[in-house]
Homo-oligomer: A and B are copies of this chain.
């Protein structure tokens, strides 16, 4: 594993999962491993869970952390060959190479534009960092996928599942703002490497990119999808086909107690932050079957497994 920017970077996903479980059992077990090593984190966007859990993961491994918002530094140019006479003072070629002199691992968060689909789906900024950095790059959520979240979600399902092959449902839900497809794309990618009974449900027009959903069951009837489900993974996303657009605010898709009653006493999951009474009703997220807080806790152990693997590379 040279980087961690999608499931495709991972040689041994099951090994990574087992390592995350080991980190959870004893968070300070490997706390000499990162001595004298530094994690750099660069945020193009807001972050609470990722910022805190990844920083904590690094500390648990004995690393130092240098965390920056893009505004602390220089606006970067990502295109090659341009005459740099705009507002961009530093080229990614220098930026990434220089940060690689100070840090042993670099984390980058960069959300999609939701206007330029091709660029977004090339995970443009994170790809450029991979290209020009001289150390491993960790995606702290890119414009296409959010693998730290998905590894966490897998870890969480393994923790809570009561049958060998649970039914896991990824359900679209309404939201007042246009959101990226990164979390659902990534969740699909990781679910495909499990043998779970995995179903996606969403209104028509909200189909994710086929490159992600190929071979995955899609059920447009949410009620039908929920039947017998062991896990409901709720998430809003904007349209991929009509790129970045909100096509529906239909409250019938909100995850309610009535909807959850259709399931096999399913656990409720969400990556957070979540809009209450839009994506999910209070009655569901506050219920005993809601595991969103434990899910967030698991972010630390997923990040530890990733950092440890990259440190040992």
Chain A interfacial positions (CB closer than 8 Å to B): 27-28, 31, 36, 38, 40, 43, 46-49, 51-53, 55-56, 59-60, 64, 66, 68-69, 71-74, 77, 80-85, 89-91, 93-95, 97-99, 101-103, 176, 272-278, 282, 285-286, 292-293, 296-297, 300
Contacts and interface: CB of A to CB of B under 8 A. Distances in A.
- Among A27, A48, A272, A282, find the residue whose CB has the most chain B CB atoms closer than 10 A: A48
Nearest to A36: B28
Contacts of A99: 48, 52
A72 B84 contact: no
A98 B293 contact: yes
14 contacts: A36-B60, A48-B95, A52-B102, A55-B66, A69-B72, A83-B277, A84-B276, A84-B278, A89-B273, A90-B273, A93-B285, A93-B286, A94-B274, A94-B292
A98 B49 contact: yes
Given A95-B48, A276-B91, A64 B73 contact: no
Contacts of A85: 176, 275, 278
Contacts of A84: 275-278
A64 B38 CA distance: 14
A93 to B, nearest CB: 8
A49 B74 CA distance: 10
A70 to B, nearest CB: 10
Contacts of A51: 66, 68, 72-73
Nearest to A282: B81
Nearest to A176: B85
A263 to B, nearest CB: 22
Given A85-B275, A275-B84, A59 B38 contact: yes
Contacts of A274: 90-91, 94
A72 B293 CA distance: 20
B98 A73 contact: no
Contacts of A80: 282
A52 B40 contact: yes
A300 B69 CA distance: 21
Contacts of A89: 273, 275
A97 B191 CA distance: 27
A52 B55 CA distance: 16
A293 B97 contact: yes
Contacts of A49: 98
Given A82-B277, A83-B278, A93-B276, 16 more contacts: A38-B56, A38-B59, A46-B73, A48-B72, A48-B73, A51-B72, A55-B66, A56-B64, A59-B64, A89-B273, A90-B272, A90-B273, A91-B276, A93-B286, A98-B296, A101-B297
Nearest to A38: B56
